[in-house]
């Protein structure tokens, strides 16, 4: 596929792990493990082989804490232990690992793993994988507003100077806008994910459960993106 048809920033709502397990009469933990294995494959493929520059992955929302405590505990184990293997591989491929979301509410071992992964890869330049963990779009915008208000109160920011760039500078991460947002599992909503960044994103909803979302499925999604006519409110096609 020509480089101009490859989205620079792809965001994926990782969905369907539990349903994948239920269909096979397995515990939810095995579905999450299968989803993690697929996550490693897609991260490697998108950044190293497809030419995607930024990959944002919605792996745990602020609302997911309402799930069964045992399931949440398993996911925290997965994040604190297994996700380090992704960082090691991304480091070998000169890719940076970032996290977006609130640290409050996360166990210290998870925060320590996050810090390790980000520090290990902080100087890498070939691509970025951004894990959205304990993330919510409303929470991100709320935190951005709080940061702006604090600067106004401190006298370091003129209220009259506040514009879109000001808001963007107070988001969790300063990354390019999302070009292409993928959701697996058949749900057709974005569930509070990257609300500001995805304002002009192309959406792609597939019934495929995430553990089955392999390279071929990702290629099919990219092919659909290449067929889209992105006018961004104007008359000229943009990529």
Active-site annotation holds for 64: yes
Alpha-carbon distance of 234 to 13, in angstroms, equals: 28
Q: Which of 64, 91, 94, 192 is catalytic?
A: 64
What are 158's two structure tokens?
A: 């003129």
H and E: helices and strands count for the chain: 8, 6
Active-site annotation holds for 15: yes
What are 34's two structure tokens?
A: 């299968």
Q: Which of 3, 5, 15, 229 is catalytic?
A: 15
Picking from 217, 211, 215, the residue whose alpha carbon sits closest to that of residue 17 is 211
Q: What's the half-sphere exposure (Cβ side, CA atoms, 13 Å) at 165? A: 3
Phi, psi of 197 (to 5 degrees): -70, -25
What are 160's two structure tokens?
A: 């009259």
Alpha-carbon distance of 97 to 24, in angstroms, equals: 33
What are 206's two structure tokens?
A: 């597939």
Alpha-carbon distance of 110 to 116, in angstroms, equals: 10
The order of strands in the sheet holding 95-100 is 95-100, 127-135, 54-61, 9-13, 180-183, 202-205
Burial of 105 (0-12, 13-18, 19+ CB in 10 A): exposed
What are 148's two structure tokens?
A: 């702006």
Q: What residues are annotated to the active site?
A: 15, 64
């Amino acid at each position: 596929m020509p480089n101009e048809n490859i989205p620079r920033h792809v965001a994926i709502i990782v969905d369907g792990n539990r349903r994948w397990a239920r269909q096979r009469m397995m515990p939810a933990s095995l579905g999450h493990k299968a989803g993690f294995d697929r996550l490693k494959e897609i991260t490697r493929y998108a950044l190293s082989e497809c030419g995607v520059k930024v990959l944002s992955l919605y792996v745990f929302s602020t609302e997911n804490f309402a799930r069964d405590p045992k399931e949440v505990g398993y996911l925290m184990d997965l994040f604190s232990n297994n996700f380090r293997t992704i960082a090691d591989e991304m480091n070998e491929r000169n890719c940076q690992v970032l996290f977006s979301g609130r640290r409050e509410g996360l166990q210290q071992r998870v925060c320590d793993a996050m810090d390790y992964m980000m520090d290990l890869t902080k100087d890498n330049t070939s691509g970025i994988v951004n894990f959205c963990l304990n993330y919510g779009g409303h929470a991100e915008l709320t935190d951005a507003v709080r940061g702006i208000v604090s600067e106004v109160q401190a006298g370091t920011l003129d209220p009259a100077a506040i514009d879109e760039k000001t808001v963007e500078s107070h988001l969790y991460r300063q990354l390019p806008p999302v070009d292409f947002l993928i959701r697996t599992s058949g749900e057709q909503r974005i569930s509070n994910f990257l609300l500001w960044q995805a304002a002009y994103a192309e959406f792609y909803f597939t019934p495929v459960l995430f553990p089955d979302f392999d390279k071929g499925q990702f290629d099919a999604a990219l092919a659909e993106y290449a067929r889209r006519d992105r006018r961004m409110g104007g008359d000229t096609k943009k990529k």
